[in-house]
């Protein structure tokens, strides 16, 4: 009897009590629309978060990286499956994570651990038109905007934070935000 109560108790303790939500929009002036901006709570002093145990997937299909922008928590392993009928070579010249996976065939998956925060540009040596970004963040509180530029970050603990917005076509911006227990806070960004 006690063993069945313990898992339920652990779930209650692990749930974010009194968490808030951050919503808003991002306008990316130089982009065709406002999708694919990443909005995130910057590093929280004294807090470290465990990355997911399973790899996050960034696919290659029809000569396109899917998704085009992938935010991940620092330490996350990303899987790069080749689901195309041609060979690919995923690489990055970015200081946050330089790597080259070499050329590999269809149905092969390669992995990279992203252990340093920053923006990592992805390219393919075989197909110059392919590009994507992995945005490595130090908190699990992040979102990617939809085509209208809207975003929502749920389950943020109450507190004062620095909220950042990044888009590939613009300079990043940041704003201070106060998250209150059980409330929703709106923060909009205009990126130029």
| pLDDT tens-digit series, residues 47-96 | 999 999 999 999 999 999 999 999 999 999 999 999 999 999 999 999 99
Q: What ranges do the domains of the chain cover?
A: 17-48+148-192, 50-137
Q: Quickly name the fold that domain 50-137 has.
A: Immunoglobulin-like (2.60.40)
Q: Are 90 and 60 in contact (CB under 8 A)?
A: yes
Q: Are 28 and 169 in contact (CB under 8 A)?
A: yes
What pLDDT score does 32 carry?
87
Query: CA-to-CA distance for 98 and 81, rounded, in angstroms?
Result: 19
DSSP SS3 for 98: coil
What pLDDT score does 41 carry?
98
Overall average pLDDT of the 152-178 stretch: 97
Q: Are 176 and 185 in contact (CB under 8 A)?
A: no
**Is the CATH number of domain 17-48+148-192 2.60.40.1120?**
yes
At 2, the pLDDT band (50, 70, 90 cuts) reads: very low
For the cut 90, the answer to whether the pLDDT of residue 13 exceeds it is: no
Instruction: Check whether the bond before 155 is cis (ω within 30° of 0).
Output: no
Structure tokens at 160: 């004062």
Same fold, 17-48+148-192 and 50-137: yes
String of DSSP letters for 156-175:
EPSEEEEEEEE-TTS--EEE
Overall average pLDDT of the 144-162 stretch: 97
For the cut 70, the answer to whether the pLDDT of residue 6 exceeds it is: no
Helix or strand holding residue 102 (H, E): strand 99-104
Residue with tokens 């065709």, as numbered in its chain: 32
Overall average pLDDT of the 157-164 stretch: 97
For 53, how many CA atoms within 13 A lie in the half-sphere containing its CB?
0
Overall average pLDDT of the 106-117 stretch: 97
């Amino acid at each position: 009897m006690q063993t069945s109560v313990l898992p339920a108790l652990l779930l209650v303790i692990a749930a974010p009590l009194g968490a808030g939500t951050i919503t808003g929009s991002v306008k990316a002036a130089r982009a065709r629309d406002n999708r694919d901006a990443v909005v995130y709570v910057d590093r929280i002093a004294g807090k470290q978060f465990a990355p997911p145990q399973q790899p996050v997937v960034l696919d290659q299909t029809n000569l396109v990286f899917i998704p085009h922008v992938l935010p991940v928590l620092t330490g996350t392993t990303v899987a790069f499956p080749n689901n195309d009928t041609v060979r690919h070579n995923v690489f990055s010249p970015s200081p946050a994570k330089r790597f080259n996976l070499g050329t590999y065939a269809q149905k092969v998956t390669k992995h990279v651990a992203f252990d340093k925060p920053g923006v990592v540009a992805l390219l393919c040596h075989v197909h110059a038109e392919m590009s994507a970004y992995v945005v490595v963040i130090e908190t699990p509180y992040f979102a990617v905007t939809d085509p209208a530029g809207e975003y929502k970050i749920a389950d943020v603990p109450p507190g004062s934070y620095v909220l950042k917005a990044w888009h590939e076509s613009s300079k990043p911006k940041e704003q201070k935000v106060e998250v209150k227990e059980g409330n929703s806070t709106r923060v909009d960004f205009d990126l130029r």
